[in-house]
């Protein structure tokens, strides 16, 4: 998933408004923030294989350290510890940890069976990406619901709060919805290099968070 992960962070923010949105965005995209670093380091591998699934041309050949279930749980604990160290709130830190683990759950729904339970373990995935219409309905529906909940709960303080949020939603929506019809990337390293741009999202979320308030 892509916008589905952002949907989780928006929903979690509405559930517990005291949780910093950048922490939730970093948590929801956490495994994908680690993944391009590991690909560029040669630790994990991905290939460009048009037709691998209907929604994306990427074949995730090996990513046990970022995307296995046991490692997702480990990174969730890391997120929990970091969040607790910053906020001193057990409720907030547990939510951040759960959002990290939610990444594997959502990927399990969309990916073909390429998600390992542990490094070297059996692989699973329900394969929602094999259908473009189903992916749009399920993931898009999750995103729309999360946006509606978020904007009803968190109000903009000013124009920045309004338009920075709309710009984030608009950009991520375009990136997501155009995937099935975009030309395949030239190489796996190009995929990983572009994926590094996701590190901007937590900072963007910080900008938004400073200009919206709980109501």
Q: 165: domain range?
A: 3-214
pTM of the model: 0.96
CA dist., res. 78 & res. 93, Å (int) = 10
**Tens digit of each residue's pLDDT (9 = 90 or more) over 91-107:** 999 999 999 999 999 99
Whole-number Cα distances in Å, 53 to 60, 72, 103, 140, 173: 11, 23, 19, 18, 19
**Tens digit of each residue's pLDDT (9 = 90 or more) over 128-139:** 999 999 999 999
Number of domains into which the chain is organized: 1
Please determine, for residue 81, whether its predicted confidence score (pLDDT) is greater than 90. Answer: yes
Sign of the torsion formed by the C-alpha atoms of 146, 147, 152 and 153: positive
Question: What are the DSSP E strand ranges found in 11-93?
Answer: 45-48, 58-62
């Amino acid at each position: 998933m892509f916008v589905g992960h952002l949907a989780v962070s928006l929903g979690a923010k509405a559930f517990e408004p005291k949780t910093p949105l950048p922490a939730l965005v970093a948590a929801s995209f956490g495994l994908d923030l680690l993944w391009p670093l590991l690909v560029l380091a040669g630790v994990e591998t991905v290939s460009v294989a048009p037709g691998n699934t209907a929604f994306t041309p990427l074949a995730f050949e090996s990513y046990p350290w970022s995307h296995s279930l046991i490692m997702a749980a480990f990174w969730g604990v890391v997120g929990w510890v970091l969040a607790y160290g910053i906020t001193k709130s057990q409720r907030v830190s547990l939510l951040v940890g759960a959002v990290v683990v939610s990444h594997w759950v959502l990927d399990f729904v969309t990916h073909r069976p390429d998600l390992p339970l542990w490094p070297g373990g059996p692989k699973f995935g329900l394969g929602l990406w094999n259908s473009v219409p189903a992916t749009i309905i399920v993931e898009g529906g999750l995103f729309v619901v999360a946006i509606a909940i978020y904007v009803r709960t968190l109000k903009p303080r000013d124009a920045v709060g309004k338009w920075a949020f709309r710009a984030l939603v608009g950009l991520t929506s375009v990136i997501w919805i155009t995937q099935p019809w975009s030309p395949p990337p030239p190489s796996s390293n190009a995929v990983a290099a572009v994926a590094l741009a996701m590190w901007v999202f937590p900072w963007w979320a910080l900008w938004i968070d400073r200009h919206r308030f709980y109501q």
